[in-house]
Structure 1
């Protein structure tokens, strides 16, 4: 199979699976047990794609992003189980730490990147304002720790020049998905919240995986102009 054909087949299959799961949340086509495989499958496929397609310029990131994706897949399954929210939170916390390992280098001081950082900080503050009054005890500590780690991951991803720029919309989508998930579960259910959470989550994982797959050593910072 040619490289172009392989790529088109993978993207088609991946999009069908991701959209299929999001639509299944609305129409309930399958018995619930199918979701244990159906939900994490797009993320596992992204891990396999990274393993096959990471370019030489980004080989140092390959094991870390695969670990991040696999931990995310474990978190997906944990969140399907009753009373396993904290375990799912821990799995995604590990995933964000692996992402942070990739992004915590080669920062760009471009003005536009710092504007995005300010958006992230404002989003985290808003999330804390909305979520923290609804949780107490260990759960509150877990939520604060998780928000701190994903915030650092998102900020370093925005500032990092050693990955493709699609990491920036990727971390913004992940931040949106996590804040919506927290509000939906911990504060008050949101209409179409499940679909919004998973749609933005799959988009985020796709973009973060391709921040490595699509990376080429840049001649200049595409965000150097404010």
Structure 2
């Protein structure tokens, strides 16, 4: 005997599975100054790889100037007091990054450059904590700290004695920055927050490549690898935060 017919209508479960676009594509429209940042960043990357020192010294700082101008664009004017504070912290992080870029281009200014980028990461940590709790997820915190410890242990035997403590402090701060960004993305569950988190992780990768190239073994593709991940990181952070500024 056949089974009795089912009553009612079967409805598919409302599965909201993420697509490749929602995971990897940045949200929102891209401002013209963001395109300029990408162009100048590519110029800095290629001139560094080719060894064109004078052109590199032109492209590298101008790329971060474009990032600052993108943040100051009227289209992204903050809609609330909290977003205004966020813009200030983002501008501070980019300004310190610009100072770090200039210092690292010049001989004998590695420590000032390291300090400038450490200050940039402190600003990013404060920025990412404006709309999310402090270190809201344990898993990314542990993962970033273990990653930082692994990188530092690799560098330890190659670092000059006077750099061991400053580099240790820097590794700790950038690990906390990345952990805060990833935890924020898990809490906010938005494409803009994920965009920022990807940028923070790329920043860790860029600094790891830079440290390996400088202290462990020169990389033949350092100009492409270090600066390619660096400008991708800054672009993703800027883009994600600018899109967030439009949401509140």
- Matches of 1:50 and 1:195 in 2, distance apart? 25
1:134-145 alignment runs, 5 A limit: 134-145=158-169
Q: 1:136 to 1:214 in 2, by over 3 A?
A: same
Larger radius of gyration: 2
The reply on whether 1:212 has 2:221 as its aligned counterpart is no
Partner of 1:26: 49
Q: Is the 8 A contact 2:33 2:67 kept in 1?
A: no
Shift of 1:98: 0.8
Let me know the Cα RMSD of the aligned residues. Answer: 2.4
- Answer with 184-193 or 130-139: which moved more: 130-139
Q: In the alignment, which residue of structure 2 is the partner of 1:85?
A: 110
* Conservation of the 8 A alpha-carbon contact between 1:157 and 1:171: yes
- The equivalences for 1:26-105 within 5 A come to 26-28=49-51, 30=52, 32-52=53-73, 53-56=76-79, 58-105=83-130
The 8 Å contact of residues 78 and 87 in structure 2, kept in 1 or not, is answered as no
Residue deviations 1:152-183 (CA, integer Å, cap 9, x gap): 11111111257722111011000000111111
Write the distance in 1 (CA, Å) between the matches of 2:143 and 2:124.
Answer: 20
Distance 1:132 1:38 in 2: 32
- Extract unaligned runs of 5+ from structure 2: 1-28
From 165, 178, 184, give the equivalent of 1:154. 178
**How far off its partner does 1:123 sit?**
1.8
- Deviation at residue 207 of structure 1 after TM alignment: 1.1
| Residues 186-225 of structure 1: pairs in structure 2 closer than 5 A | 186-215=215-244, 217=247
Query: Does the residue aligned with 1:35 lie in a helix, a strand or coil?
Result: helix
Q: Distance in 1 between matches of 2:128 and 2:31?
A: 28
Superimposed CA distance per residue, residues 112-155 of structure 1 (whole angstroms, 9 cap, x where no aligned partner): x6544444233212201111121243210110011111111111
8 A contact 1:54–1:213 mirrored in 2: no
1:107 aligns with one of 129, 133, 142: 133
2:201 aligned partner = 172
What's the secondary structure of 1:134's corresponding residue? coil
Report the more deviating stretch, 18-27 or 125-134: 18-27
Change (3 A) 1:159 1:77: same
TM-score for both structures, normalised by structure 2 = 0.75
Distance 2:114 2:169 in 1: 10
